[in-house]
Chain A
Amino acid sequence: MNLRRFFSRSQSAPAARERLQVLLAHERASAGGSDLVTKLRDEILRVISKHMQIDDDKVTVRMERGPQVSTLAVDVEIPFDADKKAA
């Protein structure tokens, strides 16, 4: 192994620890069915579908689970005549 590369490396274990802590915190929460982000996602989609026919291809959901803050982005394309086709 190249010596310079060896010494220039930072430790990877702290990164592993941090990633695991965030992931497990979220997974333990969702095991009890109380994962807020997932709940919000499902409820938001349910509310939207009450007012318009949701075309799955026109909905993008992105989540990013962080240590302090998670983000949920629901992107819905609403057609011009959506209200007329409301289910």
Chain B
Amino acid sequence: MGKVIVVTSGKGGVGKTTSSAALGAALAQNGEKVVVVDFDVGLRNLDLVMGAERRVVYDLVNVIQGEAKLTQALIRDKRLESLYLLPASQTRDKDNLTADGVEKVIAALKKSFDWVICDSPAGIERGATLAMRHADIAIVVTNPEVSSVRDSDRIIGLLDSKTLKAENGERMEKHLLLTRYDPVRAERGDMLKVDDVLEILSIPLLGIIPESMDVLRASNLGSPVTLADGRSAPAVAYFDAVRRLRGETLAVAVPGEKRGFFGKFFGRKAA
């Protein structure tokens, strides 16, 4: 049985879709079988970020409405053969996403994939709550900025109350992914510090993704950043995040922070 991850944030534009694509690709690059599901019905973008926008035939709503089989709607990545995409519908209303339908699709995907990554829409409406509903693990994407941290806190509350895990009295595994981290602004003291965000949200840190031209470049080209340039700083950060997801213990490096010899050994505790 595969694991279901929801990539969520509350706030828009923080990097959910970029992170879903990058984490999905990085897992697939590690030999895992991965499907990334776009839950943003009406405003899909995962297909564009993953470079599959010209090949969308059917979508999640088609599958839920019984107009297409799941296998027909899945799009296999052209570069990684164990990476698949299930696009959202661009034209249908989001009311077409039914709780029953989503449950069936997720159950079927869990059977044939190691990882099912649900890319949540922004907000706390139907799309977002259905994306998180069946998750085993939640990745909360946050920018070091007040409104993003506030929205993440709200989402953490929903993860602990509105998910199946929460309703069954189980604990939802939550990880913080700090994105668009700008070392220069952090150095100037104009950005929330990593420790501040961690203290406020008090969930373990999965990784810090630096603000980078490489991310923009990768979406311009329609390629997850871990594939577009695997040696770039954000790609390395995503690869490390994936190692932590797979259970490795690995210190999280803060971009731009100079560490001494001892700092390397006694680094920040990872998720």
Q: Taking beta carbons and an 8 Å cutoff, which residues of A are in contact with B? A: 1-2, 5, 9, 12-13, 15-16, 19, 22-23, 26-27, 30-31, 41, 56-57, 59-66
Asked if B56 contacts A63 (CB within 8 A), the reply is yes
Do A57 and B71 have beta carbons less than 8 Å apart? yes
CB pairs A–B below 8 angstroms (9 shown) = A9-B217, A16-B219, A22-B54, A26-B54, A56-B69, A60-B72, A61-B57, A61-B72, A63-B56
By a CB distance below 8 angstroms, the chain B residues around A65 are: 53-55
- A63 B72 Cβ-Cβ under 8 A: no
A23 to B45, CA, bound (A): 11
Please count how many residues in chain B sit with their CB below 8 Å of the partner chain's CB atoms. Answer: 24
Nearest CB of A to B223, in Å? 10
Instruction: Collect the chain B residues with CB atoms within 8 Å of residue A12's CB.
Output: 216-217, 220-221
Let me know if A19 and B57 touch, CB within 8 A: no
Q: B104 to chain A: closest CB distance in Å?
A: 15
Smallest CB separation, A3 vs chain B (Å): 14
Is B222 a contact partner of A19 (Cβ separation < 8 A)? yes
Please, which residues of chain A bring their CB within 8 A of the CB of B168?
Answer: none
Residues of chain B in range 46-68 having any CB-CB distance to chain A below 8 Å: 48, 51, 53-58, 68
CA of A24 to CA of B229 in the docked complex: distance in angstroms?
A: 27
Output the nearest chain B residue to A33 by Cβ-Cβ distance.
B91
B216: A residues at CB distance < 8 A: 12
Q: Which residues of B contact A2 (CB under 8 A)?
A: 231
- Residues of chain A within 8 A (CB-CB) of B231 are 2, 5
* In the complex, chain A residues whose CB is within 8 Å of the CB of B55: 62-65
Q: Are A66 and B54 in contact (CB under 8 A)?
A: yes
Set of chain A residues within 8 Å of B56, measured between Cβ atoms: 63
User: What is the CA–CA distance of A57 and B56 in the complex, to the nearest angstrom?
Assistant: 18
Q: For the complex, give the distance between the alpha carbons of A31 and B92 in Å.
A: 11
Given contacts A13-B220, A15-B221, 16 further A-B pairs with CB under 8 A are A1-B233, A5-B229, A9-B217, A12-B216, A15-B222, A16-B221, A22-B54, A23-B53, A23-B54, A27-B90, A30-B91, A56-B72, A57-B69, A57-B71, A60-B72, A61-B58
Distance (whole angstroms) from the CB of B181 to the closest CB of chain A: 16
> How many whole Å from B21's CB to the nearest CB in chain A?
15
- For B222-234 the 0/1 string (1 means CB < 8 A from A) is 1000000101110
Asked if residues B71 and A19 are in contact (CB atoms below 8 Å), the reply is no
In the complex, A83→B51 CA distance in Å?
Answer: 40
Complex Cα–Cα for A27 and B90 (A):
9
* Separation of A9 and B231 alpha carbons in the complex (Å): 14
In the complex, residue of chain B having the shortest beta-carbon distance to the beta carbon of A38: B57
CA distance A23 to B50 in the complex (A): 14
Complex Cα gap A31–B58 (Å):
16
Chain B residues with CB under 8 A of A59: 72
Cβ–Cβ contact A23 & B48, under 8 A: yes
